Amino acid sequence: MATTSDYFKLHFLVFLWGFTAILGKLVSIPAVEMVFYRTLLAAIGMGVVILVLRGSFKVSNSDLVKMLLTGVIVASHWLTFFISGRISNPSTSLVGFATCSLWAAFIEPMVKKNKIQGVEVGLGFVVIIGLYLIFSFDFQYPMGLFLGILSGLTCAMFAVINSQLVTRVNSLTITFYEMIGACTTVVVFFPIYTTYFSTDGQLNLAPTWSDWIWIGILSLVCTVYAYAVAINLTKKLSVFFIQLTLNLEPVYGIILALIVFGQSEVMRWNFYLGTVVILGAVIAYPFVKDRFTRPKPFPHTGP
């Protein structure tokens, strides 16, 4: 039976995941290098957790390939999310990421060859209206919002994949191999990055001491710790309640960004109106969908 402590833990996790956009902005090294260190430390940290809990690293060859390839999607998710926050601001990246649940509502039926429900199409149009409101009055960060939406799309993709993998592989083991796949993806991307995207044609792999603190929080607290706690909470709290609470992540993140960064996060009224419309569609989804098959939860790694 769930206790008051369990509810506080869940909201603390949502707070942590909402804080990731701010942490990404605080790190001074470029987003690509930051994601490299985050995935590397997360893989090491998750490996230690598995050893401490006496879990298993053993998986079939086919599942290993799937998890490593899913790591490519995870890397794409974090790269687009953090780059979005760098070229715009955390609030913009969080609004784009908020489309994740609705992306999943379309992707999951296609993967599982089920019929897409009309309510999902309707909510998709509501999100489009919200995006139109944001762009309607000289919005300053179109590319930032676009990358934020891509981060929501890629998050939905690996969440759907993981919902199938978790039926036969331990969640911690999945995350361990996906972090390895994500870290490898970033390393493979380094030559392309330095040739076409880096300002000086070189990698910046020398974080400051403060960078190490923020990256450590991202990797060990927002990924390893949060993930381990989230798995335990799924044993006590209903899937519906957890999904509903996770929809507060962008709300927490935007409020925190306003507190931390102040005036640089203040946007025009149409941004907040569009944000309310998008978040309203996301939060309304579990209520208005009459028949929604909820698979065994696979807590995401957060943005």
Q: In the chain, what percentage of residues exceed pLDDT 90? A: 38
Host H or E run for residue 26:
helix 4-26
Model pTM score:
0.84
Q: What is the dihedral of CA 69, 30, 208, 46, to 10 degrees?
A: -20
Q: Averaged over 277-295, what is the pLDDT?
A: 67
Q: What are the extents of the domains in the chain?
A: 4-288
CB 88 within 8 A of CB 149: no
- What DSSP state is assigned to residue 267? -
Give tens-digit pLDDT for 201-230: 899 999 999 999 999 999 999 988 887 787
- Is it the case that residue 74 has pLDDT exceeding 50? yes
Q: How far apart are CA 301 and CA 152, in angstroms?
A: 13
CB 222 within 8 A of CB 23: yes
Rg (CA), the chain: 19
User: What is the pLDDT confidence band of residue 259, given thresholds at 50, 70 and 90?
Assistant: confident
Q: Which among 279, 129, 302 is positioned nearest to 227, based on CA atoms?
A: 302
User: What is the pLDDT confidence band of residue 293, given thresholds at 50, 70 and 90?
Assistant: very low
Residue 171 has a pLDDT of 85
Task: List CB contacts of 284: < 8 A, sequence separation 6 or more.
Answer: 123
Residue 126 has a pLDDT of 82
Give tens-digit pLDDT for 155-166: 889 888 888 888
- Is it the case that residue 241 has pLDDT exceeding 80? no
